[in-house]
Structure 1
């Protein structure tokens, strides 16, 4: 990989990991437009690490409060808003773990095509628009119930289908459960921490079993640019989403899906 390829792909991964616009749909474009080769396992590990560090640093205060409260609840110290939120994150992570082990091989074999990604990018974009327009959006993050958290977790499992967008489908589900836009986004970002960590660990295990050489320079710059892109994305998204709504991202998804389908049929 050239340095330009590393920077472009790291920025794409860092930005699209947290915006509701589908990272897989974007990562197909460089290879389709410029003929770039697959970036490899080592680079995937690096950009996942960068994204994970970004979200953990941004939410560091919330994470510390949740960990302390959750630990207290485990040893019989009673429940609090933060301990319940930690339990809901754990609960919402379980469906994706189960679906990942059950469907990973099938999806990697049959669903990683431009046709599938183009269709899902459009369909789940329209679902995001529907949820943003029709949902009541009257609940804050701490008003989330275990049933709502589980619903978001079940929705997250759908993100195994390329083009769905993990952040997009979890925000859609959060809105459907009555969360306001910022709360739906915050829960989606908190939920991304165990999800990205698990995906990164699986990629690391695959990397350790691989005989491919590791480009340490590409890994370093991939993690670095992914970190800065992801951190800026989280900060700006949370600052703006209450005012701009989801429509700009829906329109963008429709355009992206149409471009991908054009590559397939034209």
Structure 2
């Protein structure tokens, strides 16, 4: 991998990680479009450390409170009832599904899951499901606005309403991101909307939930960078990680403002169009579904 390739792929990672459009799919497709080798699951995982550092910085106050409360809850039962302490425990519980499934399906993630046909199908399917969930959330918000705080009108959930059951369900939604094209933020936000949370709450918890999973995955894949037979070296990988972090911070800041008053419809349309184009190009023989990737 050249320095130029790593810069472009780092920019792609930063631009797409927090949007519900799948950064791993875009890294794969960007490499195919440019005629470059597939950057691979290891490069993707390590580059995501950069965008996760952006999350740590952006949510630093929230994370500081959560970590402090969680640590205190280990010895003080009274603290365990606070929202921040519960958030700490729920993030841990919600991380278990992707951790277990990631290890079980490691070979598939690095091989067959990177087939362009699967990626395109994932883009389309989750795009449709996200559209349905977003429409339900919009109607619920409208009903709540018209009904005020009347008891007969169910209000969209906030993070304060997060339960163990919801945290676990969020975790299984996040695990879908092991398939390129599903999107970590897209799948968890979609799950949150179906569970009745408002857009901002669903996105906020999605980003917090991703922290341990992404950092652990990146650390796990560090040994694969620069190993014999790999076309990815340390220098370009570090550059991509830095670039992704800088751009990712700007994107997450914009995205949190965007969803406070806008729907996910633009992302739904984009996912369906992109997935459809990729499938058509594969069907026409313009794209090799395994281009740049030796999946056997």
TM, length-normalised to structure 1: 0.92
Moved more, 213-222 or 175-184: 213-222
Structure 2 residue aligned with 1:94: 96
* CA 1:40–1:243: 2 relative to 1, 3 Å: same
Q: Paired residues, what number?
A: 266
C-alpha RMSD of the superposition = 2.0
CA distance in structure 1 between the aligned counterparts of 2:205 and 2:129, rounded to whole angstroms: 18
Q: Which residue of 2 aligns with 1:127?
A: 129
The 3 A distance-change label for structure 1 pair 145 and 41 is closer
Q: Which has the higher helix share?
A: 1
- Structure 2 gaps, min length 5: 142-155, 285-296
Q: Where in structure 2 are the equivalents of 1:49-128 lying within 5 Å?
A: 49-78=49-78, 79=80, 80-128=82-130
Change (3 A) 1:210 1:81: farther
Q: Deviations for 1:213-243, whole angstroms, at most 9, x for unmatched residues?
A: 8744423321221011111111100011121
Deviation at 1:170, TM superposition (A): 0.2
Is the Cα–Cα contact under 8 Å of residues 6 and 218 in structure 1 kept in the other structure? Answer: yes
Q: CA deviation at 1:88?
A: 1.0
**How many angstroms does 1:131 deviate by?**
0.6
Distance in 2, matches of 1:174 and 1:45, equals 24
The structure-2 alpha-carbon separation of the partners of 1:90 and 1:8, relative to structure 1 and needing over 3 Å to count, comes to same
- CA shift in 2, pair 1:72/1:124, >3 Å: same
Report the equivalent of 2:10. 10
Distance 2:282 2:232 in 1: 33
CA distance in 2 between counterparts of 1:181 and 1:223 reads 28
What's the offset of the Cα at 1:211? 6.3
1:204 Cα deviation from its structure 2 partner: 1.0
8 Å contact kept, 2:73–2:85: yes
The CA deviation string for residues 82-103 of structure 1, in whole angstroms up to 9 with x for no partner, is: 0001111111111111111122
Structure 1 unaligned runs (5+)? none
1:38 matched residue in structure 2: 38
Q: Choose 1 or 2 for highest CA Rg.
A: 2
What TM-score do the two structures reach when normalised by structure 2?
A: 0.83
C-alpha deviations, 1:169-223, integer Å up to 9, x for none?
A: 0000011111110110000000110111111011113337656587444233212
Match of residue 259 from structure 2: 241
CA contact (8 A) 1:81 1:142 kept: yes
